[in-house]
Structure 1
Amino acid sequence: MTIAAPAPRVLADALVRPSTLLRALAADAALVAVGAGLVAVLAQVIVPMWPVPITGQTLGVLLVGASLGAVRGAASLALYAGLGLVGLPVMAPQTDGSHITGLALLATPSFGYVIGFVVAALVVGRLSELQWDRKVPRAIVAFVAGSAIIYAVGLPWLAAVLSTLGVAQGPALLTATLQAGILPFLLGDAVKALIAGALLPLAWAGVRAVDRAKRD
């Protein structure tokens, strides 16, 4: 079955334009896998810290969500989480270089952020489908929103783990959670949002330039 090529909704649609339904499904599966692989690679770019390390994951999540759109972006990050849960060493390494894998990940302080990745990719992907990734100011807003979602999901998980470990209780738990789970990352995440906010509009400008050249 041949399918008509609709106007691209997100960057992946502009770069990958399969001509049949079967090829479209195969392309979607490949894009989801590549997105998960990109985040896994960036997870290895790490500044070791406890309980949550600084990594390149957030940048990957923003780019994957924006490039693939809501469904494929969320599926890609769900695949990434699933790969870790089934035992593959795709998450950020520990301070000694080892990887926690399998169901043990559920007890780690940072796994809440991984769950947040899925939600963030869904939201950023949807905003990209609404063309928020075409211009720098709106793209930055979308990516800041994605980063905020990761914190919104990750911080309660971190607090629960810190409480279980006896690190802090009561009012001190809130302070410990913010100090460990958000304050060290604000500057880096702002830089990542700026980078992603510049890259996506630049990529779209390149797509438009190529399309104009093909028509001329």
Structure 2
Amino acid sequence: MSNLTLAFGRPTLADRLFSRSLVTDLILIAAGTALTSIAAQLIIPLWPVPITGQTFAVLLVGSTLGAVRGALSMTLYLVLGAAGLPVFAAGGHGSLLASPSGGFVIGFVFAAALTGWLAQREWDRKVVGTFLSFAAGTVVIYAFGLPWLYTVLGTFPPASLSRFFGTTNLLRATITTGILPFLVGDTVKALLAAAILPASWRLAGRADKAASENEG
């Protein structure tokens, strides 16, 4: 009888390193949450949305754990932060409703699910596939974060928009603060992942080959 597990579908990089079991899955989910929490403290303080290491951690967790465990890991991250643990950027915590970056955090759950789903279809085993997977996950985060940011900025008086962003145009303010500062960093993160993940798969394959030869 197979062990109970939360890892559904094709194996991911984590499954090459650890045997599937419920206990292992729970540890990996918690580890993904912890990694994201730590990465959130690597911050360049911009307002209203800071630059952090979160997105790299989110997409890496999704790619290595797969769709279900990756999404659960990010859901745990969101729940812990909302419950008051200082796991968000710069030790932030509490309700996301009034936070300009709240939509980005919610998008983490779906971005991890997508990159995990793609990894289970072996996108993370090739350089181009990994880059495209991280790019797609980033688009998902923007898809949740930008409308949220637009809505929050819409609560600002026009005078405040003009003072903080140099414009009263909500769309321009959203693009200026929610996209432009992150483009270079997002590209670098995708390139870094494209170097790390396929190389990790190659190393795992070599280790399996060496183990087989030693047994022979």
Q: Which residue number corresponds to residue 101 of structure 1? A: 93
The residue identity in structure 1 corresponding to 2:137 is G
Amino acid at match of 1:10: T
Correspondence for 1:120 among 105, 111, 133: 111
Counting aligned pairs with the same residue, the percent is 51
1:58 to 55, 58, 80: 55
Superposition misfits of 4+ residues, deviation over 4 angstroms: 167-171
Q: Which runs of 5+ in 1 are unaligned?
A: 19-23, 94-98
- In the alignment, is the contact (CA less than 8 A) between 1:8 and 1:14 conserved in 2? no
Q: Partners in 2 of 1:8 and 1:181 — Cα distance?
A: 35
Q: Is the 8 A contact 2:84 2:94 kept in 1?
A: yes
Q: What's 1:12 paired with? A: 14
Query: 1-side partners of 2:94 and 2:177: how far apart?
Result: 24
Higher mean displacement: 109-118 or 169-178: 169-178
Measured after TM superposition, the shift of residue 100 of structure 1 is 3.4
Kindly provide the amino acid, as one letter, of the partner of residue 63 in structure 1: L
Does 2:194 match 1:197? yes
Taking a change above 3 Å as real, the CA distance of residues 161 and 7 of structure 1, as seen in their structure-2 partners, is: closer
Question: CA shift at 1:52, angstroms?
Answer: 0.4
* Shift in alpha-carbon separation, 1:7–1:88, aligned structure 2, 3 A: closer
Moved more, 105-114 or 6-15: 6-15
Structure 1 length as normaliser, TM-score? Answer: 0.89
Q: Is residue 40 of structure 1 aligned with residue 37 of structure 2? A: yes
1:103-122 deviation line (CA, Å, top 9, x unaligned): 2x321101110011111000
Q: Which amino acid aligns with 1:57?
A: Q
1:7–1:124 Cα change, 3 Å = closer
Counterpart residue identity of residue 91, structure 1: F
CA deviation vs aligned residue, 1:138-195 (integer Å, no higher than 9, x gap): 1101111111111111000011111113354998100000000000000000000111
Shift of 1:17: 1.1
Question: For structure 2, which runs of at least 5 residues remain unmatched after alignment?
Answer: none
How many residue pairs get aligned? The number is 203
8 A Cα contact 2:103 2:145, kept in partner: yes
Structure-1 residue corresponding to 2:80? 83
Q: Tell me: CA distance 1:199–1:121, structure 2 relative to 1, closer, same or farther (3 Å).
A: same
* Aligned partners of 2:10 and 2:121 also within 8 Å: no
Q: What is aligned with 1:156? A: 147
Q: What TM-score do the two structures reach when normalised by structure 2?
A: 0.89
SS at match of 1:107: coil
